Amino acid sequence: MPPIRVDICGGAREGKSALIARLGQDAAGGAGPFIVTEAANDEQYTRTLRDGAPIADVSVIVLDARQGVTAATRRHGFFAGLLAVRHVVLAVNKMDLVDNAQAAFARIESDFRQLAAQLGLGGVACLPISAENGDNVRAHSAAMPWYTGPTLVELLARVEPPVDRARAESPLEIADQFEATIVWLSDAPLLRGRSYTVKLGPNTATATINPVKYKINLSTLDRIAAVTLIQKEIGVCSMHLDRDLPFAPYKVNREAGGFVLVDRMSGATVGAGMIHFALRRAQNIHWQALDVNKGARATLKGQRPCVLWYTGLSGAGKSTIANMVDKRLHAGQRHTYLLDGDNVRHGLNRDLGFTDADRVENIRRIAEVAKLMVDAGLIVSTAFISPFRAERQMARALVADGEFIEIFVSTPLGVAEQRDPKGLYKKARRGDLKNFTGIDSPYERPEAPELTIDTTAHSPEQAAEMVVAYLEQRGIIRAGREEGDDA
C-alpha cells in the first residue's frame, strides 16, 4: 500500500517545524505510514511542477491563531487547489497563546471555509492545535475540552491511499485547444504568439499561448488583467496546439491534464500547467478541403511557391534587396508579393508596439499571412528585422519543407548605424526610442540560413542577383524565362 504524502505548509514562524517534528514522532509510534515534507514557500511548489515530483495527498496548512487567515494561508490554499490536492487540513496552531480560544478558532474556521469554497477545495478539515505541546496532534488536549473532533494523526490515518479509480472511470478526450492555468518558471517572460513545445503525458506538440486572460495576485487571489507572465507568476490562458492530443482535466487526472512547456531553442523548461477544459471551438471548426489547391495554383503560374524571409538589422538593406528581387521576378512574369515591415505596421499590425511580446505577435501574424500567400501559389517576400530565432522557426514550420528560404542580410551594427536611413539609431542612442534592435533589444543571428548576403561586400544589385540565382538553382523559377513565355 503506497504511503500517504503529507505537505506541511504555512507562513514564517507559524509552527511548521515543530509540527513536522511532532508528526515524525507520531509516525514512528505506528500512526503512519506518512511521508512528511515541508512546502514553505512558492519555490517548493514551482519546483514540484517543474520536476514532475509527486504531489501531496494531504496539505496541512499551519497558521498562527493570533494572526488568523493571512496572505500566506490564501497562497497555500490556492496551490492546494491548483495541484488538486485531495485533502486539506487547516491546523490552527498556538491555541495556547490566545484568549477565548474556542471563539477564536470558530472565527478562523469560518474564514478559511469561505476561502476553501472560493478556491474549490474539497475534503477540508479544521482543528485547533499546539504543536509545541502536542495538543490535538496525537492525543486530545485537556486544555481544549470544547474540541471533540479527531486529532491530526487520526485525520491523516483516515486518508485512503491514492487509487487509479478516477482515471479508469474517466476516458480521455481529444482536443487541440484548451483553457489552462500556467505557472511561469523562466526568467524570460512568456510571449504571446511564441511557439513552445508542450509535453502532455507521453505526447508532445507545438503550442502557442494566446491570449493570457488574467494572472493571479497570490496575496489577495484577485484576478489581474495581463498580456504576459514573468517568472513565478500564475495566469489563466488559452493554449493552442498544432495537433490533437488526448487529455483529461487536471482535477480528474493529473497525468493526463498536467503539462510542461519547453523552449524550442534552448530545451529548457519554461512553464508548467494544468488543463481546465477543451475549448468548444476546437471541436466545431474543421479544415475544409478545397478542389483548387496550392499545387494547382502553382502549376498555373509556372513556379514553385515559397517564402523569401529576409532578416537582419535595421538599415541592413533588407527592403532594398527584397524590392529589387521582386522587380526582377515581376519582369519575368512571376507571381509575387512583398510584405514590408513598415508597410504592414500601417495596417494589419498598427495596434502593435515594439516590446518583445509585440515583436513576437508581429511576426506571428506576418507568418500566417505569408502562409496564405504561399497557398495561393505566390513567391512571397517578407522584409522584417524578425530578431528572434524562435519566431523565424515558427514561420518556417508553417509551410512545407523547401518552401521557406531564410535570407540573412548580414551587416555589422556599426555599418547599419552609420547608414541609419530613417534616423532610428540616433533616436535609440539618445534614449528617445526604446526596445530598438541592436541597441537595447537583442538580435539573434540565424544559425543556418539558406542564403547569407554580406552587404559590406555586395551592392544591392549584386545581392538581388544572388537571390534570383539561388531561386533558379533550387528550381523555384526556371532560368531564362522571358517576357511573354507562357511555359
One of 130, 381, 386, 410 is an active-site residue; which one? 386
pLDDT at 168: 52
| Helix H or strand E segment including 169 | helix 165-169
Residues 6+ apart with CB under 8 A from 165: none
Q: Which residues of 89-128 are buried (b: 16+ CB within 10 A; e: fewer)?
A: bbbbbbbbebeebeebbeebbeebeebbeebebeebbbbb
CB atoms inside a 10 Å sphere around CB 143: 14
CA distance 185 to 45: 11
CA distance 80 to 61: 9
Residues 6+ apart with CB under 8 A from 282: 175, 176, 177, 178
- Strand-pairing partners, residue 306, are 379
97 and 14 Cβ atoms separated by less than 8 Å: no
Specify the residue for cell string 529548457: 268
Q: Give, for all 487 residues of the chain, the pLDDT tens digit.
A: 677 888 899 888 888 888 988 877 544 334 457 788 887 566 677 777 777 677 888 999 999 999 999 999 999 999 999 888 889 999 999 999 999 999 999 999 999 999 999 998 878 999 999 999 999 998 999 999 999 999 999 999 888 766 554 455 568 899 999 999 999 989 889 987 788 999 998 999 999 987 788 999 988 889 998 888 998 899 999 999 989 999 999 988 888 999 999 998 888 999 999 999 998 654 555 656 666 778 888 777 888 999 999 999 988 999 999 999 999 999 998 999 998 877 888 888 888 877 777 888 888 889 999 999 999 999 999 998 888 888 888 899 889 999 999 999 999 998 988 888 888 888 888 888 887 888 888 889 999 999 999 999 999 999 999 999 999 999 898 865 544 444 3
194 and 387 Cβ atoms separated by less than 8 Å: no
CA 220, chain centre distance (Å): 23
Q: Is 386 a catalytic residue?
A: yes
- Strand-pairing partners, residue 224, are 215
CA distance 42 to 39: 8
Q: How far is CA 265 from CA 69, 194, 353, 391, 393, in A?
A: 43, 11, 24, 10, 9
All structural domains of the chain: 4-157 (3.40.50.300), 170-284 (2.40.30.10), 294-474 (3.40.50.300)
pLDDT at 26: 46
pLDDT at 359: 80
pLDDT at 159: 85
pLDDT at 349: 82
